């Protein structure tokens, strides 16, 4: 038994069939496109997390300013 109940021999046969259908050049370009898509996805997730963190910092600063302003009203 191999990976997930599929033997190594079966995986090799599938690999040979895929190579015959698509050719090595097309498989290389598909691999490059897939790699580019994954790196773009990772970058988008990282940018989203950074913008979310920046937004959370801005919201917290506004809350603190609001509290300070309210405490000034109470003191006056």
Total domain count, the chain: 1
In a domain, 34, yes or no: yes
Predicted confidence at residue 51, as pLDDT, reads: 86
Per residue in 2-54, pLDDT tens?
Answer: 567 888 899 899 989 988 998 888 888 988 999 999 999 999 988 888 888 88
Q: Decide if 18 contacts 27 (C-beta within 8 A).
A: yes
Per residue in 47-71, pLDDT tens?
Answer: 888 888 888 888 888 888 888 777 7
State the maximum Cα–Cα separation within the chain, in Å, rounded to a whole number.
83
In a domain, 2, yes or no: no
Question: HSE of 57 in the Cβ direction (CA atoms, 13 Å)?
Answer: 6
Predicted confidence at residue 37, as pLDDT, reads: 93
In whole angstroms, give the CA distance from residue 19 to residue 34.
17
β-strand partners of 6? 3
In a domain, 53, yes or no: yes
Q: Coil, strand or helix: which one is 29?
A: helix
* 6's tokens: 């599929």
The mean pLDDT value for 72-76 works out to: 63
């Amino acid at each position: 038994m191999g990976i997930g109940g599929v033997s190594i021999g079966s995986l090799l046969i599938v690999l040979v069939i895929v190579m015959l259908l698509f050719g090595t050049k097309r498989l290389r370009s598909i691999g490059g496109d897939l790699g580019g898509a994954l790196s773009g996805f990772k970058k988008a997730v990282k940018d989203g997390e950074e913008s979310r963190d920046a937004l959370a910092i801005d919201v917290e600063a506004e809350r603190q300013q609001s509290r300070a302003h309210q405490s000034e009203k109470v003191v006056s």
